[in-house]
């Protein structure tokens, strides 16, 4: 009997429009706001990001990524009996992105739902789907991270609008006799909700509150370096492994300084850290599956290797997973 889940295939999708730091600086300059490629690269490692065209939503991006992951798994949409979507930028208040993507793909009537844990969303969704497959509640689970953060950015706030981009990534998990997802750990601290949030909501037919992303960057930075190291050590401990046994760290791509600092603390050298932040920016819940699929398709990540995934995001929420790929 299968008691584990493993990754059968990965996929990702980026909308075609690329926005470089210089493009963004020119756009902000029109409103008298100063930023520069040098500042953005030095503080974050970001060089460019992709923005979805008007009218394109996270369901569109997620559908593309999902189709690629299902193909890579050698399955068809009929084989998928669970869809978990991690997103903070869904197409609708309801139904969920998972339901909308299920209809587009033509998957049969298994469970479909979204998980909202912002940038830690993919780790949450992966862990939830892992429990479903391990328990036999589902056989083949599609786990998607998809975001259009460009649609909630305040372009008058240079402290946040230069950081984020759009994209989607997906994996298919299936049952296995040997571990795949070896261990995962999830955490949250709602007392810190105020340091990273999009507080607007729809009420009585109107948007009330500020419907744009707000962040106290320094406060998040301080928390991030602390909780990421701890949660990474927690999953390594659960799995009985050390940093030396990690072939690839696949971190949430928010800031190169945070990523490399955490890796160093764990004894993982920079050349074993998958780094896509320069080209994708921070794509929130999409960033880990996007980075994972990019490294798989580039031939960097290979079957049999051990991966450490970790992320922190609004909530605060954070988590990590150790995966034998």
Contacting residues toward ligand UT7, per CB under 6 A: 35, 39-40, 43-44, 119, 158-159, 162, 217-218, 220-221, 224, 254-255, 258, 282, 312-313
Q: Which of 50, 64, 252, 280 is catalytic?
A: 252
How many Å apart are CA 290 and CA 307, to the nearest integer? Answer: 14
Smallest separation (angstroms) from ligand UT7 to the CB of 257: 7
Is 119 annotated as catalytic? yes
Here the tokens at position 199 are 């507080």
Smallest separation (angstroms) from ligand UT7 to the CB of 77: 31
Q: Which is nearer to ligand UT7, 44 or 89 (CB)?
A: 44
Smallest separation (angstroms) from ligand UT7 to the CB of 119: 4
Is 252 annotated as catalytic? yes
Q: Which of 21, 64, 97, 119 is catalytic?
A: 119
Q: Which is nearer to ligand UT7, 138 or 258 (CB)?
A: 258
Smallest separation (angstroms) from ligand UT7 to the CB of 280: 12
Q: Which is nearer to ligand UT7, 31 or 177 (CB)?
A: 31
Asked if residues 308 and 320 have their Cβ atoms less than 8 Å apart, the reply is yes
What phi and psi values does residue 16 have, to the nearest 5 degrees?
-65, -30
Is 282 annotated as catalytic? yes
DSSP letters along 106-159, please? Answer: T--S-EEEEE--GGGHHHHHHHHHHHHHHHTS-SSEEEEEEEEGGGG--TT-HH
Name which of 134, 127, 89, 305 is nearest 231 in CA terms.
Answer: 127
Smallest separation (angstroms) from ligand UT7 to the CB of 133: 27
How many Å apart are CA 119 and CA 234, to the nearest integer? Answer: 19
Beta-carbon neighbour count of residue 277 at 10 Å? Answer: 26
Q: Which of 21, 97, 140, 282 is catalytic?
A: 282
Q: How many whole angstroms from its chain centre is CA 140?
A: 20
CA distances from 261 to 12, 33, 222, 258 (A): 26, 30, 12, 5
**Residue positions annotated with a catalytic role:** 119, 252, 282
């Amino acid at each position: 009997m299968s008691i584990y889940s493993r990754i059968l295939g990965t996929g990702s999708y980026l909308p075609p429009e690329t926005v470089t730091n210089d493009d963004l600086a020119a756009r902000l300059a029109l409103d008298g706001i100063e930023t520069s490629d040098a500042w953005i690269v030095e503080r974050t490692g970001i060089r460019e990001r992709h923005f979805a065209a008007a009218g394109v939503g996270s369901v569109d991006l997620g559908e593309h990524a999902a189709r690629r992951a299902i193909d890579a798994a050698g399955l068809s949409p009929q084989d998928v009996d669970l869809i978990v979507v991690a997103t903070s930028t869904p197409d609708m208040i309801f139904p969920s992105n998972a339901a909308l993507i299920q209809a587009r793909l033509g998957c049969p009537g298994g469970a479909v739902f979204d998980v909202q844990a912002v940038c830690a969303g993919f780790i949450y969704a992966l862990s939830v789907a892992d429990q479903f497959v391990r328990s036999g509640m589902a056989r083949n689970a599609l786990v998607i991270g998809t975001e259009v953060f460009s649609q909630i950015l305040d372009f008058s706030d240079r402290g946040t609008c230069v950081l984020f981009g759009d994209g989607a990534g997906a994996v298919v998990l299936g049952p296995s006799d040997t571990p795949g997802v070896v261990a995962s750990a999830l955490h949250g601290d709602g007392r810190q909700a105020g340091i990273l949030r999009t507080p607007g909501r729809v009420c009585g037919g109107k948007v009330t509150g500020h419907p744009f992303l707000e962040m106290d960057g320094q406060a998040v930075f301080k928390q991030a370096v602390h909780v990421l190291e701890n949660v990474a050590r927690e999953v390594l401990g659960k799995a009985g492994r050390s940093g030396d046994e990690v072939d690839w760290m696949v971190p949430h791509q928010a800031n190169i300084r945070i990523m490399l600092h955490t890796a160093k603390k764990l004894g993982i050298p920079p050349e074993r850290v998958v780094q896509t932040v320069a080209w994708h920016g921070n794509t929130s819940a999409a960033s880990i599956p996007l980075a994972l699929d990019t490294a798989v398709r580039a031939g960097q990540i290979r079957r049999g290797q051990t991966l450490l995934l970790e992320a922190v995001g609004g909530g605060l929420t954070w988590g990590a997973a150790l995966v034998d790929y």
